[in-house]
């Protein structure tokens, strides 16, 4: 079992070296074909307001990405060739003014989507919830690399955030190609019942049959969020990768009330594999 086609989203230009390092690591580990996707968003047209006679147009993001296309392609192709990987680069002039819609449409034919989480600024040309949108809409596992912190891929120790839900189950089995290469896997449940049961025990038995060394962990979240507790557990256990389901509740509730996924993606300190 392995990822054989990996799509890399190249629009986070400020973190391109980190992203390309992750792409070549994965491509080499799985002998995978790597596709670099670069989206040029459409010009934004705003309707006429008040006494304005014509709609207003904003082409700043469109020009920003057009101007940088050649350099991004050159860096991507150079990194792939250096590692002897098979690859292709595709730049799409989108019909949408956002980037996420095109990434979602293109991603559904790939084993894995690779993205980087970059702290946003007010005038950032990339939408601030790009990763969340792709993770929810693509139907594919999304591996998110931090722009700072533990940016190198290390799958020796992996933490699984487990709540027995559909999203968590999807994430675990989407991550199997990585889990079988790990040395130690921790199944962590936040605020587990105190009735003597062992959450994740059946999952642990199944993963063990794949040859994965696995154990269950109970993590207590007293005051902070479940996402904060999960990230603290990953740091304490020295895990290089976190595997978790994306949005266990309705997305509306997550946006209003916070939530594990939103906290984690706002404080990415190590690679995270998300599935929805």
CA 24 to chain centre: 16
* Fold assignment, 157-275: Rossmann fold (3.40.50)
Strand order in the sheet with 184-190: 87-93, 33-40, 5-9, 112-117, 142-146, 272-275, 241-245, 157-161, 184-190, 214-219
What six digits make up the tokens of 152? 């190198």
Question: Do residues 149 and 269 make contact, with C-beta atoms less than 8 angstroms apart?
Answer: yes
Comparing CA positions, the residue from 214, 155, 205 lying closest to residue 2 is 155
Cα angle 96, 75, 61 (rounded to 5 degrees) comes to 25
State residue 223's pLDDT score: 67
Which residues pair with residue 242 across a beta bridge?
A: 159, 272
What six digits make up the tokens of 172? 């675990």
What six digits make up the tokens of 213? 């060394």
Question: Which pLDDT tens digits describe the chain residue by residue (276 residues)?
Answer: 789 999 999 999 999 999 999 999 999 999 999 999 999 998 765 554 555 554 444 567 889 999 999 999 999 999 999 999 999 999 999 998 899 999 999 999 999 999 999 887 778 888 888 998 899 899 999 999 998 878 889 999 999 999 888 999 999 999 999 999 999 999 998 876 667 677 889 999 999 999 999 999 877 777 667 888 888 899 999 999 999 998 645 555 554 434 677 777 777 889 999 998
Q: What is the pTM of this model?
A: 0.89
What residue ranges of the chain are covered by domains with CATH 3.40.50.620? 5-146, 157-275
State residue 51's pLDDT score: 52
Backbone angle region of 247, left / alpha / beta, with phi > 0 → left and psi within -120 to 50 → alpha: left
Which residues pair with residue 37 across a beta bridge?
A: 9, 90
CATH of domain 5-146: 3.40.50.620
Backbone angle region of 65, left / alpha / beta, with phi > 0 → left and psi within -120 to 50 → alpha: alpha
Comparing CA positions, the residue from 79, 147, 136 lying closest to residue 113 is 136
> Residues 128-163, buried b or exposed e (16+ Cβ, 10 A)?
eebbbbbbbbbebbbbbbbeeebbebebebbbbbbb
What six digits make up the tokens of 30? 């799985």
């Amino acid at each position: 079992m392995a990822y054989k086609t990996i799509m890399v989203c190249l629009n986070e230009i400020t973190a391109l070296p980190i992203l390309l390092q992750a792409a070549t690591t994965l491509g080499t580990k799985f002998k995978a074909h790597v596709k670099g996707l670069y989206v040029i968003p459409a010009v934004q047209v705003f309707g006429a307001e008040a006494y304005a006679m014509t709609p207003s147009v904003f082409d700043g993001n469109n020009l920003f990405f057009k101007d940088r296309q050649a350099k991004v392609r050159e860096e991507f192709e150079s990194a792939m060739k250096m590692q002897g990987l098979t690859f292709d680069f595709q730049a799409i002039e989108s019909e949408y003014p956002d980037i996420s819609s095109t990434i979602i449409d293109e991603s559904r034919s790939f084993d894995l989507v690779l993205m980087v989480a970059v702290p946003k600024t007010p005038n950032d040309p990339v939408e601030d919830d790009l990763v969340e949108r792709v993770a929810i809409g693509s139907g594919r596992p999304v591996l998110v690399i931090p722009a700072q912190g533990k940016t190198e891929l290390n799958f020796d120790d992996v933490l699984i955030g487990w709540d027995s839900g559909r999203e968590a189950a999807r994430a675990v089995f989407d991550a199997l190609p990585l889990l079988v290469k790990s040395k130690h896997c921790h199944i962590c449940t936040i605020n587990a019942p105190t009735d003597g049961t062992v959450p994740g025990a059946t999952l642990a038995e199944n993963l063990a049959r794949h040859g994965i060394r696995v154990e269950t962990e109970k993590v207590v979240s007293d005051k902070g969020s479940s996402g904060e507790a999960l990230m603290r557990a990953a740091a304490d256990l020295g895990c290089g990768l976190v595997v978790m389901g994306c949005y266990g509740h309705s997305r509306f509730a997550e946006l209003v009330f916070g939530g594990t996924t939103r906290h984690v993606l706002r404080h990415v300190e190590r690679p995270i594999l998300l599935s929805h």
